[in-house]
């Protein structure tokens, strides 16, 4: 039985990305046509049946998010798609944006119809400049073909899509910071409540979804929520795009049904293909740099939201970074922490200063200069950042460190005695000998 099920990625690499003709011949826009025959409540009902959980990392039920916005009477409402894919190890939205943009556009248009919204915004990562051009071409071609713009398909419904671009700030992947950036403000998170469904873009009701989330909408509308749910598990409907990288044979993006085990994802020849050069697995990092780290003992955990959560892991953005036995946990965590130091917006002290202090202690550990008291301070920093940071970036910045602390505490303690199991630290070259 195949471990790959291409529901939303089947057009990728097969059709001309910006060609409406190719997209329609591949079955595109059938979901939109069906949506126009349905009431908004019926569409949301199918999304709820599908148990589509947010694919950007938060895993919030999409049907509930849509239902909450529908119940708000104020208008106009805006559709915003978060395409600021800045999580290291995550490159799945890039595939959809660059190789099947019309699927994303169709999903946005269905959302526009549901909420009687006439304007949608997609915030594309600044580094994806070539993709922005492809996406704009797809928008222009959809307008020419009558699937976007004025009176779509002769229905009288009008919907326009605007591309906004980031400038490389990871924090703009946080939804409220993203909206601030679209408005021309500093990309820093907002105080919540009020929630974005009520006070979002331009202080009006707003739907914010991830690229992969909105790409699933045409399939759910066309096939129905029950059918979509059947592709996954009873708690996690459909499929998930995962990004395999690191010390794994077959790096890339794969669309798998929920319910595949982590062992299969990493070792199956159709997917990861195992660890190169006969090396052993040391750990894997799920959901991006802000996600938890898992060990070999957790490989038989099923890849679905409930099973991973019960195991202390998470789906997150879909990243699966694999590390072999030659990787030092301390050295790896220094790289993770450097990323968060660079990307902190500086708004709150726990994140701004906490990451710097974590890095300083990790550097002492890797240099053989740390004492047991430093490990105590490190644990206190983890707790402070997790509980006191203003937004999700700071709250999750120490997740990798915290899970490594639990799984590899002996390796931390070994470094206090100047012993590095991976033989990365304390080499003669590092000591200058």
Report the pLDDT value the prediction gives residue 172, as an integer from 0 to 100: 92
**Which of 33, 201, 17, 20 shows the shortest CA–CA distance to 109?**
33
Cβ-in-10-Å burial (0-12, 13-18, 19+) of 41 comes to exposed
Poorest-pLDDT segment among 39-48, 97-106, 189-198: 189-198
| C-beta separation of 318 from 55 below 8 A | yes
Q: How much is the pLDDT for 330?
A: 97
pLDDT at 174 over 50: yes
The model's confidence at residue 130, banded by pLDDT at 50, 70 and 90, is very high
| C-alpha atoms less than 13 angstroms from C-alpha of 6 in its C-beta half-sphere | 11
Say how far apart CA 207 and CA 205 lie, in whole Å.
Answer: 7
Report how far residue 313's alpha carbon sits from residue 265's, in angstroms, rounded to the nearest whole number: 15
Averaged pLDDT for residues 67-82: 97
Residue 144 vs residues 114, 120, 150, 164, 218: alpha-carbon distances, Å: 23, 18, 10, 21, 20
Other residues' Cβ atoms within 10 Å of the Cβ of residue 309? 13
Read off φ and ψ for residue 153, nearest 5 degrees.
55, 30
**pLDDT at residue 429, as a whole number:** 44
Question: Which of 36, 16, 34 is CA-nearest to residue 26?
Answer: 16
284/245 Cα distance (integer angstroms): 10
**What pLDDT shows up at residue 433?**
43
Report the pLDDT value the prediction gives residue 182, as an integer from 0 to 100.
Answer: 97
Q: How far apart are CA 293 and CA 331, in angstroms?
A: 14
pLDDT digits (tens, 9 = 90+) for 4-15: 999 999 999 999
Single pTM value for the model: 0.94
Neighbours of 334 (CB within 10 A): 17
The β-bridge relationship of strands 206-210 and 239-246 is unpaired
pLDDT of 431 reads: 47
User: What's the CA gap between 33 and 25, in Å, rounded?
Assistant: 14
CA 263 to chain centre: 21
Mean pLDDT of 178-192: 94
The separation between CA 284 and the C-alpha centre of its own chain, rounded to angstroms, equals 17
Closest CA to 390 of 346, 358, 335, 420: 346
Average pLDDT score over residue span 52-72: 95
Please give the pLDDT value at position 1.
Answer: 57
| Distance (Å, whole) CA 252 – CA 254 | 7
Q: How far apart are CA 240 and CA 238, in angstroms?
A: 7
Please, are residues 110 and 38 in contact by the beta-carbon 8 Å criterion?
Answer: no
pLDDT in the model for residue 2: 76
> What pLDDT is attached to residue 426?
86
Does residue 362 carry a pLDDT above 60?
yes
Does the pLDDT of residue 354 top 50, yes or no?
yes
Q: CA 114, CA 43: separation in Å to the nearest integer? A: 8
Least confident of 44-53, 76-85, 371-380: 371-380
Segment 103-114 shows an average pLDDT of 98
């Amino acid at each position: 039985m195949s471990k790959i099920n291409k529901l939303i990625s089947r057009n990728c690499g097969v059709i001309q990305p910006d060609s409406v003709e190719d997209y329609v011949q591949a079955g595109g826009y059938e979901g939109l046509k069906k949506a126009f025959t349905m009431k908004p409540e019926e569409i949301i009902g199918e999304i709820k049946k599908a148990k589509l959980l947010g694919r950007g990392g938060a895993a919030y039920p999409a049907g509930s998010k849509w239902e909450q916005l529908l119940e708000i009477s104020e208008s106009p409402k805006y559709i915003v798609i978060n395409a600021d894919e800045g999580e290291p190890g995550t490159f799945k939205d890039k595939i959809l944006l660059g190789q099947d943009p019309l699927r994303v556009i169709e999903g946005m248009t269905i959302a526009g119809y549901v909420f009687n919204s006439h304007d949608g915004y997609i915030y594309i990562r600044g580094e994806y400049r070539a993709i922005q051009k492809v996406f704009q071409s797809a928008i222009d071609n959809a307008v020419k073909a009558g699937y976007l713009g004025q009176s779509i398909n002769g229905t009288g419904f009008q919907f326009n899509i605007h591309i906004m671009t980031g400038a490389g700030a990871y924090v703009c992947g946080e939804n409220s910071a993203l909206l601030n950036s679209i408005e021309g403000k500093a990309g820093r998170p907002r105080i919540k409540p009020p929630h974005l469904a009520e006070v979002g873009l331009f202080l009006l009701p707003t739907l914010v979804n991830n690229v992969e989330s909105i790409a699933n909408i045409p399939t759910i509308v066309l096939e129905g929520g029950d059918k979509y749910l059947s592709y996954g598990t009873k708690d996690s409907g459909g499929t998930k795009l995962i990004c395999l990288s690191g010390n794994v044979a077959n790096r890339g993006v794969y669309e798998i049904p929920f319910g595949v085990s982590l062992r299969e994802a990493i070792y199956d020849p159709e997917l990861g293909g195992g660890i190169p050069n006969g090396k052993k697995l040391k750990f894997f990092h799920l959901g991006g740099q802000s996600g938890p780290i898992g060990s070999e003992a957790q490989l038989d955990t099923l890849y679905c939201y409930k099973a991973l959560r019960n195991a202390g892991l998470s789906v997150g953005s879909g990243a699966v970074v694999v590390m072999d036995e030659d990787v030092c946990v301390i050295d790896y965590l220094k790289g993770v922490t450097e990323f968060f130091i660079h990307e902190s917006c500086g708004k709150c002290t726990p994140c701004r200063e906490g990451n710097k202090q974590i890095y300083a202690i990790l550097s002492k550990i890797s240099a053989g200069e740390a004492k047991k008291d430093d490990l105590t301070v490190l644990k206190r920093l983890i707790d402070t950042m997790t509980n006191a940071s203003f937004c999700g970036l700071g709250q999750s910045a120490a997740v990798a460190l915290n899970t490594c602390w639990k799984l590899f505490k002996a390796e931390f303690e070994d470094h206090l005695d100047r012993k590095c199991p991976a033989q990365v630290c304390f080499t003669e070259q590092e000591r200058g000998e």
